[in-house]
Amino acid sequence: MGPAGTADKRGRVAGGFLRLVWTALLLTVLSCFAAAHADTLLDATGYKMAGDATKMRIVVNFDREPDVKWFLLRGPNRLVIDLPRTRFALDAKDVKPRGLVRAVRYGDQGHGSRLILTGKGPFAVDELDVLKDDDGSGYRIAVDMSAASEREFDAALANQSLTTGSTVSTEKGERVGTGPISAPGHRFTVVIDPGHGGVDGGAESSAGTVEKDVTLAFAKELRDKLAAVGKYDVYMTRDNDLYLALDERVRIARQHEADLLISIHADTIAVKGLRGATVYTLSDKASDPEAQALADRENLSDQFAGMKIEDDNKEVTDILIDLIRRETHNFSMSFAHTLVGQLSTSVGLINNPQRSAGFRVLKAPDVPSVLVELGYLSNVKDEAQLLNADWRGKAAQSITNAVALFAAAKAGTATGG
């Protein structure tokens, strides 16, 4: 090794030392930056979601006021909430999808963070607010969303611009104005709901006839009769042996902007001699103890999905919703009356055939809804009729006639004032 080699070695040592200093400096700067940066991260400390397939409230807690922007995306229907960079410390069981929400996702987007709620179908964001906690411990985002149609979702999508949560939030009044009745090109729409299905068989006759099969066979007959008129859009909540929770049936009716929901059932009763059809509408107070008992039995359907049955009377406090509910109730009563009149010409009815009780499947605030008990599976004559194609055809024709009268009356109301 010559001097050049020594010089070279000394140079390398000096260079190594410099690199070490630089690295140390860089690390110090970086760690300071990281520490400062960590402090600016928003903390999402909690997440709660309550409601069902027709209505949900979502609350996300933060350690301080979040700067929020939100917007809608379709294919699938999503609500996107943009946040500053956020550290999510959320419980996996709290973000487990349920009700109207099919998926909850969140994460880092580089310059910010994002929370994405995917709907089970189209929905409306009724309200999205950033609120200060009463105890001063932090802030929360509260989102109210409800099941809607594709058309309503698209209208909201067209109106949206990327602004803050409070200004994007749609006024309830506007939602009322764009309701099903005023939709352009909307044909009178009937949603037929065959009761029960899948693990929920419903009532059963002593001979083994199961309600879910009777209701599906009848619903198909009614669908074909209504479709043959050529003036209505007709949908079914299920057209095979599928379990559906009651709120899911209501959500489907809202998705199609139904003008009418007809839920089909065939019950059993201890009094074997009792027979005939009954038409039920929704009421907080049952018309009679039998109607109450029937509503209790039908509402048990949700237990197959392990759902907790809660009273949702808080919805009624909203005056606009209450007005719509009252109008819907009048339409339901009017259709039930027409339906009883038509059915009486072709099938046997029980005494006082128009009754009411608190059926969960009739609870859409803006869809006139009736529940038809076609007859009693506990009565051998009724059972024989329910299994007879001719009888089903006659009964389905009577319901179709009632729908025609109701649709014509409603069209008259809409154009004639």
Q: Which is nearer to Zn ion, 202 or 353 (CB)?
A: 202
The set of long-range contacts for 178-185, using a CB threshold of 8 Å and a minimum separation of 24, is: 178/152, 179/324, 179/366, 180/149, 180/257, 180/258, 180/259, 180/366, 180/367, 181/414, 183/151, 183/257
Q: How far is the CB of 267 from Zn ion (least distance, A)?
A: 6
Asked whether position 195 contacts Zn ion by CB under 5 A, the answer is yes
Q: How far is the CB of 266 from Zn ion (least distance, A)?
A: 7
Q: Which is nearer to Zn ion, 42 or 294 (CB)?
A: 294
Please choose, out of 28-36, 169-177, 202-210, 275-283, the segment that lies near Zn ion by the rule CB under 5 A.
Answer: 202-210
d(CA 399, CA 225): 9
Q: How far is the CB of 203 from Zn ion (least distance, A)?
A: 6
Q: Which is nearer to Zn ion, 86 or 268 (CB)?
A: 268
d(CA 253, CA 325): 15
Asked whether position 375 contacts Zn ion by CB under 5 A, the answer is no
Q: Which is nearer to Zn ion, 115 or 347 (CB)?
A: 347
Please choose, out of 28-36, 56-64, 115-123, 292-300, the segment that lies near Zn ion by the rule CB under 5 A.
Answer: 292-300
State the residue number with the nearest CB to Zn ion: 265
DSSP letter for 309, please.
P
Helix or strand run (H / E) with residue 132: strand 123-132
Alpha-carbon distance values, 54 to 149, 319, 375 (Å): 11, 19, 29
* Amino acid letter, residue 317: T
Site for Zn ion in 18-57 (CB under 5 A): none
Asked whether position 66 contacts Zn ion by CB under 5 A, the answer is no
- Taking residues 297 to 336 in sequence order and writing x for each that binds Zn ion by CB under 5 A, - otherwise, the string is -x--------------------------------------
Return all residues near 415 (Cβ < 8 A) that are at least 6 apart.
Answer: none
Alpha-carbon distance values, 368 to 124, 144, 150 (Å): 20, 23, 20
Q: How far is the CB of 249 from Zn ion (least distance, A)?
A: 12
When binding is defined by CB under 5 A, the residue of 99, 122, 165, 202 that contacts Zn ion is 202
Q: How far is the CB of 329 from Zn ion (least distance, A)?
A: 22
Please choose, out of 53-61, 183-191, 259-267, 329-337, the segment that lies near Zn ion by the rule CB under 5 A.
Answer: 259-267
Return all residues near 23 (Cβ < 8 A) that are at least 6 apart.
Answer: none
Q: Of how many residues is the chain composed? A: 417
Asked whether position 119 contacts Zn ion by CB under 5 A, the answer is no
Q: How far is the CB of 212 from Zn ion (least distance, A)?
A: 8
Q: Which is nearer to Zn ion, 173 or 208 (CB)?
A: 208
Count of residues interacting with Zn ion (CB under 5 A): 4
d(CA 237, CA 249): 6
Q: Which is nearer to Zn ion, 121 or 202 (CB)?
A: 202
Helix or strand run (H / E) with residue 111: none
For the four alpha carbons of 326, 367, 199 and 387, in that order, the dihedral sign comes to positive
d(CA 364, CA 150): 17
When binding is defined by CB under 5 A, the residue of 140, 251, 265, 325 that contacts Zn ion is 265
The rounded Cα 190 to chain-centroid distance in angstroms is 18
Q: Which residues bind Zn ion (CB under 5 A)?
A: 195, 202, 265, 298
